[in-house]
Amino acid sequence: MFRKIVRFLWGDLTTKEMKKFGILAITFFFIIGSYWLLRPLKDGIFKSIVGIEYQPLAKIVSLFIIIPLVLLYSKLVDIFKKHKLFYVFFPVYGAIFLLMAVLLMHPTIGLANTVASPLRIFGWFSYVVIESMGSLMVALFWSFVASSTDATSAKKGFAIIISGAQTGSILGPTIARYSETTGLPLLLVFAACGVLVVPFLIKIFMTKVVEKEQDSIAFQREQKEEKKPKTGIIEGLRLLLTKPYLLGIFAIATFYEVIGTIMDYQMKVLAAKKYTNPENFTAFLGFFGQCANVLALLLALLGTSYLMRRFGLTFCLLIFPIAVGTVVGYVYINPMLWTVFASVIVVKGLSYALNNPAKEMMYIPTTKDVKFKTKSWIDMFGARSAKATGASVNNIFKANISELMLYGTLIALGLVGIWIIAAMFVGKTFNKLTKEGKIIG
């Protein structure tokens, strides 16, 4: 019975594939579950300590913070084996979140001080740290997965990973909804514990899966990559700027972030007028996270693997910008809180369940430098740049909600057209690379 359910949802998976993608799904469950608990906390803390009107500026600031992090990450990729990066970064983030929990209880630094001010450094620090965790750790995880998976297996197994992630992304905001009962410091402790579990799961994966796959094509290719000379911290940027395929991935990965940032801020500005204290504002964002991720989980279970196997990568890459353009147009016609709320849920649900796994598959026919270094520039610097661009639009029109809804929507629709062209090019190139057994990088 269990095998029939698995076959229906994800296709014919071998026992080895089930073990492999099962462990990866549990690992991503803790990463995404912790991050989705932190996301509403990030906004609740920032709104209370600094002020929601400074959020667009905070996204711009995070762009400049991410640049040295990308360079550090690229350097560590040359120093450590890829799985050991989990043993470096996750304990550091776990310790920082525990420290933040303590500082939140401080009478002047923390929430007891109810006077919001842009001069309160802790609010900016907490926002940037959580933003960087979402960019850096998710990018590291998918780079690790792409380096140990072939395209055929990925079409079946990536949906399992996404299902685990979406289960975590439902649990995280569900816990956040009880922020008025637990308080924000305790929620930070929960998130820290989830982050600290990840290195232990990676150790299990390396022992139970990787050591038993040393005859696989993916493993042998990675071993050859490990033996090549180290290429330096800016190699990823050089590859990005010289390879059209990678620039196409950059467009697909970043254009959504511009649009998503505009729509997300539209929703939060409207919500901030209705929910005035940090606890009920955090609870609202937790409810939003629940809805978006329940939709994404349903899509991951019932649609992701089937669509990839049945229609291919190009179809999956194209359906997302078309859907985004549709809901953006709907917001333009009816710019109300619950209209924007529903639209952002649809966009994020499709992003997590369909676009993200399709986007990550595009890195399979690439070298280690592309998977880790170029991907870090795309997922960290590129994503932050895109969010900063969206935040700049928000910052220009933040004083007038009507103009924010109008011009923000028009800019989003223009980006969708370019996005569709990039998706067609990348999908076609991916199919050619996998058919001919070639790699980029």
What values do phi and psi take at 366, rounded to 5? -135, 165
Residues 6+ apart with CB under 8 A from 5: none
Instruction: Tell me the CATH number of domain 7-434, given options 3.40.50.150, 1.20.1250.20, 3.40.50.10190, 3.40.1800.10.
Output: 1.20.1250.20
Global pTM reads 0.72
Phi, psi of 379 (to 5 degrees): -75, -30
Contact present, 336 and 267 (Cβ < 8 Å):
no
Q: What is the pLDDT at residue 223?
A: 53
> What is the DSSP code string of 201-270?
HHHHHHHHTGGG-TTSHHHHHHHHHHHSPP--TTHHHHHHHH-HHHHHHHHHHHHHHHHHHHHHHHHHHH
Neighbouring-strand partners of residue 349: none
Q: Is 13 strand, coil or helix?
A: coil
Q: What is the pLDDT along the chain (441 residues), one digit of tens a residue?
A: 555 555 555 566 777 888 888 899 999 999 999 998 888 888 888 888 888 788 778 877 877 787 788 778 777 777 777 888 899 899 999 999 999 999 988 888 888 888 888 888 888 998 989 988 887 888 889 888 887 777 777 777 777 888 888 788 788 878 887 777 788 888 899 999 999 999 999 999 888 877 655 545 455 555 555 555 566 667 777 888 888 888 888 888 888 888 888 888 878 878 887 777 767 777 787 788 778 777 877 777 766 767 777 777 788 888 888 888 888 888 778 777 888 888 888 887 777 777 778 888 888 888 878 888 888 788 777 777 787 788 788 778 777 777 777 777 788 888 888 889 888 898 888 888 888 878 886
> Cβ(70)–Cβ(64) under 8 Å?
no
Question: What is the reported pLDDT for 231?
Answer: 60
Q: Locate tokens 């055929």: which residue? A: 152
DSSP state of 109: T
pLDDT of residue 234: 76
SS3 state at 138: helix
Structure confidence at residue 215 (pLDDT)? 47
Among the listed residues 254, 263, 264, 261, the one whose alpha carbon sits nearest the alpha carbon of residue 359: 254
Residue 246 and residue 359 in contact, taking contact as beta carbons nearer than 8 Å: no
Q: Using the structure block, give the residue that is written with the tokens 């965790």.
A: 133
Task: Identify which of 75, 44, 8, 22 has the alpha carbon closest to the alpha carbon of residue 286.
Answer: 44
At 92 the pLDDT is: 93
Q: Characterize 146-177 residue by residue with b for buried, 16 or more Cβ atoms within 10 angstroms of its Cβ, and e for exposed.
A: bbbbbbebbbbbbbbbbbbbbbbbbbbbbbbb
How is residue 277 annotated by DSSP? Answer: S
Residue 105: strand, helix, or coil: coil
CA separation, residue 222 to residues 82, 125, 226, 364, 371 (Å): 10, 37, 6, 11, 11
